[in-house]
Amino acid sequence: MNLARLAAERAATKGPIGVAVIGAGKFGSMFLSQAPTSPGLRINVIVDLDIERAKAACRNVGWDEERIAACDFTEDGAEAIARDDIEVVVEVTGNPAAGIRHALAAIEAGKHIVMVNVEADVLAGPALAARARAAGVVYSMAYGDQPALVAEQVDWARAAGFQVIAAGKGTKYMPEYHAVTPDDVWSHYGLDPARAKAAGMNPQMFNSFLDGTKSSIEMAAIANACGLAVPSDGLRFPPCGVDDLPTILKPKSDGGQLESRGMVEVVSSLNRDGSPVERDLRWGVYVVIEATNDYTASCFEQYGMRTDPSGRYGALYRPYHLIGLELGISVLSAALRGEPTGSTMSFRGDAVAVAKRNLKAGEKLDGEGGYTVWGKLWPADRSLAHGALPIGLAHGVTLDHDVAEGEAVRWSDVTIGDNQAVSLRREAEGLGSA
C-alpha cells in the first residue's frame, strides 16, 4: 500500500523507471493512456510492427505531439529490450512465439518483464519464470488482467489464514459458444459486422473470449501461479451471481459443484436458457474461502458476509477489472519491490486445442478464436498423458490425421518443427506440477 510513495521517491532521486512497451493494441493503448499520470515510470520506447499505427494509438489516448516526439518507436523488440534506459519490458503482443522470444531476451538482458501475453505464459510460463528467478529478474502477470487480480485475492486469503476453496472470474457463456467462428461472433456481442470492422475490431480475437479459449487460458495461468487444481474435464461455467458464489462454488460433498477444494472455475452471466443471471460477475473476479472454525464463521455473520446456508463458506469478489489502466501496478512492483503481481510457479493447468467440427487431414489449424479449434482447460497431467497439442501451438500447422469434433488434437496429429516455442514448451513440461 505504498507504491505511490515509492514511485514518487524513485522519480525524485533516480528519475522514473524506464519502460518498453511491445505491442500497441487495445491493452497496450490502455496502459499508454495512464502513463502520463502514473508516478515514477516513463515509456521510453514502443515496439509495434506498424509504427504509424502505434503513434496513432498514442494520439488516440491523449498523448500530445511533444510526448510522442520524446518517445522512440521501433519494429525491433530485441533492440528496445537491449536499451540502457529500459528497466521493465511490457509484452503485449498476444502472440505466444513472440512473447516467448521477448521474455527470453528480457531475462538475458537482466530486465524485468510484465507478461500481458497470457498465451505465452500458459504455453511455457513455468520455464520462463524459472529462468527469470535464476537470473534475478521479475517475471510477472499483468495487474488489471484477471489472472493477476485473482492471484492477489488468493494471496490475501492465504495470508489471512483462510483456505481457498475456489477462485476465478465471470464471463458470458453458453455451451454452443464453443463452436462459434469469426463469421458469426459479432451477433453474440450485439454488434454490426461492418461497424466492428470500421472500428478495427479483430473478430478472431473477440471470438477467443466467446468460444471459451480465453477463459481456459486464464484459468490455466491462475492454477499455475496459485497452485490450484483444474477440473478434470474442463471448466463447467456454472451460471452464478455474486450472492451465490459460496453456495455453488464449494465441494460436491457439501452440496456445491466443485470436484474438490482449491479449484479454478469460471461462472457464467447467463443461465442455460439464455436469461441473465441476477447480479452477475461477467466483468469481475472472485475467491471463495472457508471459515477455519466456528468463531470465524460467526464473524462472517456478524460482519454481514454473504455465505452459503451453512455459514462456513464465504466469497469476496471484485465486480470489474480495468485491464491496461491498472498495469502500472505491475511495473512499479517489479522495479521498486522486486515482486511480481502473480507469477507462474508450477505446471498444473493447460489449454489444449479441441476440434470445433470434424477436421480432415490436410486442413491448417488457425489457432485461438479461429474456425478450427478452441482451447479447453485440462489438468496438465491429463494433457501430457494424452499428448494433447497446446492451443498456443495450434496456429498455422497442418493436420496429418482426421480429428473428430470435440476431440483434442494431439502432437502426433500435426508436424511441428523444433523451434524456440516448442523447445520452451518441452522445458516447461519437464518441470512438472510440484
Q: What confidence tens digit (pLDDT) does each residue in 259-312 have?
A: 999 999 999 999 999 999 999 999 999 999 999 999 999 999 999 999 999 999
User: E strands along 93-138, which residues?
Assistant: 112-115
Is the domain of 84 the same as that of 13? yes
| CATH number for the domain that contains residue 16 | 3.40.50.720
Asked if residue 282 belongs to a domain, the reply is: yes
Task: Tell whether the model's pLDDT for residue 198 goes beyond 80.
Answer: no
| Same domain? 316 vs 328 | no
The sign of the torsion formed by the CA atoms of 248, 251, 254, 257 equals positive
Nine cell digits for residue 354: 479441441
Residue 227 has pLDDT above 70, yes or no: yes
Q: What is the pLDDT of residue 197?
A: 79
Mean of the pLDDT values across residues 193-206? 83
Looking at residue 402, what is its pLDDT?
98
Residues of the chain with pLDDT > 90: what percent?
A: 94
Task: Report the pLDDT value the prediction gives residue 397, as an integer from 0 to 100.
Answer: 96
Examine the fold and report which residue of 273, 306, 337 is the final residue of a domain before the chain moves on.
337
pLDDT at 389: 98
Main-chain dihedrals φ then ψ at residue 391, nearest 5 degrees:
-60, -30
Mean pLDDT of the chain: 96
Note whether 13 and 46 are same-domain residues: yes
Residue 277 in any domain: the answer is yes
pLDDT at 112: 98
- Are residues 162 and 106 part of one domain? no
Together in a domain, 242 and 359? no
Note the pLDDT tens digit of each residue in 316-344.
999 999 999 999 999 999 999 999 999 99
Task: For residues 253 and 357, state if they share a domain.
Answer: no
pLDDT of 196 over the 90 cut:
no
- Sheet harboring 263-268: ordered strands across? 263-268, 163-171, 285-290, 313-318
CATH number at residue 407: 3.90.1210.10
Residue-wise pLDDT tens digits, 126-167: 999 999 999 999 999 999 999 999 999 999 999 999 999 999
Q: Where is pLDDT greater, at 328 or 191?
A: 328
Asked whether residue 217 is domain-assigned, the answer is yes
286 with 218, same domain? yes
* Same domain? 156 vs 133: no
Residue-number span of the structural domain to which 112 is assigned? 3-144+324-337
Using pLDDT thresholds of 50, 70 and 90, give the confidence band for residue 433.
Answer: low
Largest Cα–Cα separation, the chain: 63
Least confident of 25-34, 197-206, 226-235, 294-303: 197-206
Q: What is the pLDDT of residue 5?
A: 96
In a domain, residue 180? The reply is no
Q: What is the pLDDT of residue 314?
A: 98
Residue 200: pLDDT over 90 = no
Q: Name the band, by pLDDT with cuts 50, 70 and 90, for residue 195.
A: confident
Tell whether 295 and 420 lie within a shared domain. no
β strands within 157-252, DSSP E = 163-171
**Has residue 404 been placed in a domain?**
yes
Task: Give the global pTM.
Answer: 0.96
Residues 356 and 291 in one domain: no
Counting DSSP H helices and E strands in the chain, the numbers are: 17, 14
Choose the final residue of a domain: 337, 364, 386: 337
- Confidence at residue 294, expressed as pLDDT on a 0 to 100 scale: 96
Per-residue pLDDT tens digits for 357-407: 999 999 999 999 999 999 999 999 999 999 999 999 999 999 999 999 999
Rounded CA separation 305/307 (Å): 6
Q: Give the mean pLDDT of 57-84.
A: 96
Hey, what's the cell of 397? 500447422
Counting residues of the chain whose pLDDT is more than 70, the rounded percentage is 99
- For residue 39, name the pLDDT band (cuts at 50, 70, 90): confident
| Final residue before a domain boundary, out of 337, 369, 386 | 337
40-51 pLDDT tens trace:
999 999 999 999
Q: Does the pLDDT of residue 104 top 60, yes or no?
A: yes
Q: pLDDT-based confidence at 434, cuts 50/70/90?
A: low
- CB-CB contact of 32 with 43 (8 Å): yes
Say if residue 159 is in the same domain as residue 248: yes
- Please check whether residue 207 lies inside any domain of the structure: no
Residues 196-210 as b or e (16 or more Cβ within 10 Å = b): beeeebbbebbbbbb
Number of domains within the chain:
3
Long-range contacts (CB closer than 8 Å, 24 or more residues apart) made by 335-338: 335/10, 335/17, 335/41, 335/87, 335/88, 335/112, 336/3, 336/6, 336/7, 336/10, 336/17, 336/40, 337/3, 337/6, 338/138
- The CA-atom distances, in angstroms, between 387 and each of 171, 352, 407 are 29, 10, 12
Task: Tell which residue, 117, 176, 163, 97, has the closest CA to residue 397.
Answer: 97
Instruction: Answer yes or no: is pLDDT of 427 > 60.
Output: yes
Flag whether 195 is in a domain. Answer: no
Neighbours of 340 (CB within 10 A): 26
Q: Are 49 and 124 in a shared domain?
A: yes
